[in-house]
């Protein structure tokens, strides 16, 4: 199954006899902003115009639990997540398509959660809303209640110890910007740097200038050059388990399964007992 879908394919599916459930997960990372600049409001963006039939999903409240010792975007309570998905009309026997404002991180977080908890058919709109050239709607749909019941997967998830071990025994990718990996800057978390042994693989290098994923062959070549070859086990982390999900999605497009360390650097760096590496070298 392909993990992504083009805008033209989505338009065709929406016009078909059994359209997919469509989720709008517009979101932006909350960082310090200039005085007087309002924070990003995904719900307001949705209300101003969305792909017809799409239901808004709140990443901070429905795809994550409250920030704390487990990181800035810990796993959501599965009852909360499941209720949100059923309210949006998600059922196990019906395809789901997810999109966001174009960056792809939030949509990938929803994709990863649905896949990890057992949904068999989820895709991300490649390029997000900017790739859509069809009409927009300001009408919120009233989908029927879905039947999806999330069950935590046995694989695909790393904790801090698992991430540390994988950095030694397999390949652990750090999906953040290279300057954060090196520890040159750290605008959010307690300390800069990376998990010892992790390899820098910024997620923005998985897409072209239009925000769409590079071809699968190019992604395979990229990850192979970074060490993900010969059947090596692969894991990904980022700042808080959002952009890392986008890298897991890129790996899926390339045909390479990978696990996600959801706590990511926000959890790792908050524990003074955890070692921190700095500079361009993984160690």
Q: What is the pLDDT of residues 24-81, one digit of tens each?
A: 999 987 654 555 667 889 999 999 999 999 999 999 999 999 999 999 999 999 999 9
CB-based contact 235:98 (threshold 8 Å)? no
Written as six digits, the tokens of 278 are 């700095």
**Mean pLDDT confidence for 107-123:** 98
Position 143 scores a pLDDT of 92
The closest of 44, 48, 69 to 58, measured between CA atoms, is 44
Average pLDDT, the chain: 95
pLDDT in tens, 161-196: 999 999 999 999 999 999 999 999 998 888 999 999
Identify the active-site residue in 238, 248, 250, 253: 238
Q: Any idea which residue has 């017809």 for tokens?
A: 52
188 as an active site residue: the answer is no
The closest of 81, 79, 115, 169 to 4, measured between CA atoms, is 115
Position 32 scores a pLDDT of 47
pTM: 0.95
What's the per-residue H, E or C state across the chain? CCCEECHHHHHHHHCCCCCCEEEECCCCCCCCCCCCCCCCCHHHHHHHCECCCCEECCHHHHCCCCCECCECCCCCCHHHHHHHHHHCCCCCCCCEEEECCCCCHHHHHHHHHHHHCCCCCEEEECCCHHHCCCCCECCCCCCCCCCCCCCCCCCCEECHHHHHHHHHHCEEEECCCHHHHHCCCCCCCCCCCECCCCEECCHHHHECCCCCECCHHHHHHHHHHCCCCCCCCEEEECCCCCHHHHHHHHHHHCCCCCEEECCHHHHHCCCCCCCCECCCCCC
Q: Between residues 113 and 28, which one has the greater pLDDT?
A: 113
pLDDT in tens, 78-97: 999 999 999 999 999 999 99
Please, what sign has the CA dihedral across residues 116, 100, 252, 169? negative
CB-based contact 151:117 (threshold 8 Å)? yes
231 pLDDT higher than 90: no
Position 71 scores a pLDDT of 95
220 pLDDT higher than 50: yes
Q: Is 184 left (phi over 0), alpha (psi -120 to 50) or beta?
A: alpha
Position 30 scores a pLDDT of 61
């Amino acid at each position: 199954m392909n993990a992504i879908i083009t805008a033209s394919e989505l338009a065709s599916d929406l016009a078909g006899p059994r359209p997919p459930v469509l989720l709008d997960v517009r979101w932006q990372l909350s960082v310090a902003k200039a005085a007087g600049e309002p924070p990003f409001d995904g719900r307001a963006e949705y209300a101003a115009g969305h792909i017809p039939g799409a239901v808004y999903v709140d990443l901070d409240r429905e795809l994550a639990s409250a920030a704390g010792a487990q990181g800035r975007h810990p796993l959501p309570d599965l009852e909360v997540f499941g209720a949100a998905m059923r309210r949006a009309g998600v059922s196990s026997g019906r395809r789901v398509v997810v999109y966001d404002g174009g960056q792809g991180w939030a949509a990938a977080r929803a994709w990863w959660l649905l896949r990890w908890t057992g949904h068999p058919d989820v895709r991300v709109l490649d390029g997000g809303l900017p790739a859509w050239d069809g009409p927009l709607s300001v009408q919120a749909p009233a989908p029927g209640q879905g039947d999806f019941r999330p069950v935590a997967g046995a694989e695909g998830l790393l904790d801090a110890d698992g991430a540390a071990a994988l950095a030694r025994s397999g390949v652990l990718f750090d999906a953040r910007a290279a300057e954060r990996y090196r520890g040159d800057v750290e605008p959010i978390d307690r300390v800069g740097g990376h998990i010892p042994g992790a390899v820098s693989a910024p997620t923005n290098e998985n897409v072209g200038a239009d925000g769409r994923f590079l071809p699968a062959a190019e992604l395979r070549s990229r990850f192979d050059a970074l060490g993900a070859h010969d059947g090596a086990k692969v894991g990904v982390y980022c700042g808080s388990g959002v952009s890392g999900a986008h890298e897991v999605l890129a790996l899926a497009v390339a045909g390479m399964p990978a696990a996600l360390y959801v706590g990511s650097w926000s959890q790792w760096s908050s524990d003074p007992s955890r070692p921190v590496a700095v500079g361009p070298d993984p160690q």
